[in-house]
A and B are shown apart, each in its own frame.
Chain A
Amino acid sequence: SYELTQPPSVSVSPGQTASITCSGDILRDKYASWYQQKPGQSPILVISQNNKRPSGIPERFSGSNSGNTATLTISGTQAMDEADYYCQAWDSRTAVFGGGTKLTVL
């Protein structure tokens, strides 16, 4: 089975750019999605199809996918962006999630 690997934690200062990576062979030819999850809440979709922002997601969230690595970038990070972030892709008919990255805004 395929795996998606994320760093357990990323720290960023307010106003700076945060980058969260997701690595896995399935990303070479599959779309990556990204979800934000705050404590006690359900995940919400912040990036679909590698780089598409759903309605209502701030422009500071962007995504890319190159080779076997997808990246979620948060420009001008705000305190409200502190959360767990999960990447996700499809391996044939099976959804695969990364292990999650805790973003801390210091």
Chain B
Amino acid sequence: QLHLQESGPGLVKTSETLSLTCTVAADSIIISSYHWDWIRQPPGKGLEWIGTFYYIGSTYYSPSLKNRVIISVDMSKHSFSLKLNSVTAADTAVYYCARRYTDSFDPWGQGTLVTVSS
């Protein structure tokens, strides 16, 4: 079964860049066959889609975040990453990575809490 694991700093200072990595326990052929997405969930709130990456270089981002976000893939490390710049307290959330399978997200990583504070 496919396994995803998020990693990165749990605390980021206001106005700095949030950087997370999602490691995919799978062969490179698997990574090149699907879209890979980031989704976040502020404490006590609902899910918010951040963006997606497809290995041929296609990326699509949430209209509300597109000016601050970059998603990329490192095939050699079987991972994909999220960078969100100019963060504020509103970016405090649990960040999930997920594989897109047909029109759904499955599976999801366990999530990692990122707190933005000055």
Contacts and interface: CB of A to CB of B under 8 A. Distances in A.
Nearest to A86: B47
Contact of B108 (A43, A93, A100): A43
Given A94-B62, A94-B63, A100 B103 contact: no
Contacts, number: 62
A72 to B, nearest CB: 13
Given A94-B49, A97-B46, A100-B47, A42 B96 contact: yes
A33 B47 contact: no
Contacts of B47: 35, 43, 86, 88, 97, 100
Interface size class for chain A?
20 to 34
Interface of A: 1, 30-31, 33, 35, 42-45, 48-49, 54, 86, 88-90, 93-100
Interface of B: 37, 39, 46-49, 52, 60, 62-63, 96, 101-111
